[in-house]
Amino acid sequence: MQLDCEEKQGWLAMSRNISASGVLAATAKKLVAGQPVTVIFTIKPGEEPLKIPGTIVRVELNVEDKSGMWPHRVAVEFDDVVPELEPLLEADVGSWSPDYLLDLEKDEP
């Protein structure tokens, strides 16, 4: 996923928990609570990305990041509930190969 904010477009982020009302993401850049952002999900290559406006409501150290690549976690609350988000992501994950899913299970957080 990607986070766009006023100061910069295109911050890459790794989603950790997603719901219809928000997302917890790991980021390389420390962002600021209260900062408005647009969360951009590219569900399938070549399709129009889903852009969801929201606000950062929490910023913390990512203690699970042993490599130091994603040292921050941010919680984003969406401006509006997006009920179609979860089914879209579930369908996408459902299309992943069993080998890829097994590899994900082996990785430590």
Q: CATH number of the domain that 7 lies in? A: 2.40.10.220
Task: Give the model confidence (pLDDT) of 5-42 as tens digits.
Answer: 887 788 888 887 888 999 999 999 888 999 999 999 88
Give the domain range for residue 13: 2-106
Instruction: Please state, in angstroms and rounded to a whole number, the distance separating the CA atoms of residues 103 and 69.
Output: 19
pTM metric for this prediction: 0.79
How many domains does the structure of the chain reveal? 1
Q: Strands, E, within the chain: which ranges?
A: 2-5, 11-19, 22-27, 36-41, 50-61, 72-78
Instruction: Please state, in angstroms and rounded to a whole number, the distance separating the CA atoms of residues 42 and 49.
Output: 5
